[in-house]
Amino acid sequence: MKILRNLIIWIFVLSIFPLSSFGKLTPKYTSAARLVTQPAARKLIPDQVEIWMNFYHSGGVMGSVKYSISDRIAVGVSYGGLHILDNVGTDWNNMAGFYAEYTLCHAFKYWPLVALGAETQGWGSFKRNILSGENRYFIKAPGIYLVAGRSLNICRSACFTVQGGVSYNVFENDDDSSPNLFFGFEKTIIDIFSFAVEYDLALNDNSDKALGKGKGYLNTAFRLHMNDRLDFEFLVLDIMVNNSDARNETKMFRIVLRNL
């Protein structure tokens, strides 16, 4: 426990030192790999490593590492659990999450960037759905997905990005096996601050045995871009209370490290 806490602290300290570049984003900074919980189409930077640390209720932590092999291919792995940061016995997730993405085409003229990928990592606690008997996340993993995104120059900088995609989860489909749709946007307010809003229709989470109530998941994220190596994010999930059994899982804090 102490080793893990010290590791997190040292990662944080090393990522923000020095802070001389605060607010001065280099050309290496691109839009986030996610809208909020759903994948986002973005330009990959070859040989870039990203570390994502998500902190949520009951001392929960989910960490992931993503590596861009080229400007078209990226892979990653994630793992976490509950009670990692408190004094209760750690409840690890049953399995690790995996991620792979291939950029089908880069944005040009009026055409968006399009990416095809697969991800098994969901959001929130990983526990048994009593209705279906299936172990699943609060918000299901995307599974196999196709996503398109485009940055629009509607002000002095590229400050507005729209995203949309379709996904099919073959890993958490005992309660509902329908395909899913999602869309949203990210808006930059100033160089160091942006917010994102996504609407996950949750078409794969609205059957009689599913946890969702048919409203979909409306999620938002507030991002502070310290420099090209560090982001702080605060997430608010399920604003419309689609899953009333997970009200204590709707707030998350995320740290994103890159270019280490």
- Here the tokens at position 86 are 């408190």
Residue 228 within any structural domain of the chain: yes
- 219: in domain: yes
Q: Report the amino acid identity of residue 43.
A: K
Nearest alpha carbon to residue 206 among 132, 133, 144: 132
Nearest to 171 by CA among 98, 100, 82: 98
Domain range enclosing 148: 2-44+102-258
Please report, as a single letter, which amino acid is at residue 174. D
The reply to whether 96 falls in a domain is no
Closest by CA position to 55, among listed 254, 214, 242, 230: 254
Q: Is residue 242 part of a domain?
A: yes
Per-residue pLDDT tens digits of the chain, which is 260 residues long? 444 444 444 444 444 444 333 344 333 335 678 899 999 999 999 999 999 999 998 889 999 999 999 999 999 999 999 888 887 888 888 889 999 999 999 988 888 999 999 999 988 888 777 777 777 888 889 999 999 999 887 665 557 899 999 999 988 777 778 999 999 999 988 888 999 999 999 998 888 888 888 899 999 999 999 988 999 999 999 999 988 777 778 899 999 999 86
Q: Chain-centre distance of CA 53, in angstroms?
A: 10
pTM: 0.83
In a domain, 211, yes or no: yes
| Backbone φ/ψ region at 59: left (φ over 0), alpha (ψ -120 to 50), beta | left
DSSP 133: T
In the chain, what is the straight-line distance between the N-terminal and C-terminal CA atoms, in Å? 25
- If one counts the domains in the chain, the total is 1
Beta carbons of 83 and 92 less than 8 angstroms apart: no
Alpha-carbon span 16 to 158, nearest angstrom: 25
Per-residue model confidence as pLDDT tens digits over 156-201: 555 789 999 999 998 877 777 899 999 999 998 888 899 999 999 9
